[in-house]
Amino acid sequence: MLTFLTFTFLYFLPVIIAVVRDCKNSPAIFILTMLAGWTGVGWFIALWWALFGKPERAANYS
């Protein structure tokens, strides 16, 4: 059971990162992960997009 949960978490890691970073393309990253994440290449593209995609709004540190 723990193995299943770990793999599920890792599979959806790009989506989790996109949501936490408030990326404007979070729905597209979710769709890419669902449709092409199983290929490995699709998963890495989604991860790259989630990490380096433009956030919805700029961070305000003041």
Looking at the domain assignment, is residue 34 inside a domain? yes
Looking at the domain assignment, is residue 27 inside a domain? yes
Residue for token digits 């709004």?
A: 57
Angstrom distance (rounded) from CA 62 to CA 53 = 23
Number of folded domains in the chain? 1
**Residue range(s) defining the domain that contains residue 28:** 12-52
Name which of 43, 11, 46, 6 is nearest 26 in CA terms: 46
Angstrom distance (rounded) from CA 20 to CA 40 = 22
| Threshold 0.85, pTM exceeds | no
Looking at the domain assignment, is residue 32 inside a domain? yes
Looking at the domain assignment, is residue 41 inside a domain? yes
What contacts 24+ positions apart, CB below 8 Å, involve 9-12? Answer: 11/37, 11/43
Looking at the domain assignment, is residue 29 inside a domain? yes
**Would you say residue 54 has pLDDT above 90?**
no
Give the model's confidence band at 60: pLDDT under 50 very low, under 70 low, under 90 confident, else very high: low
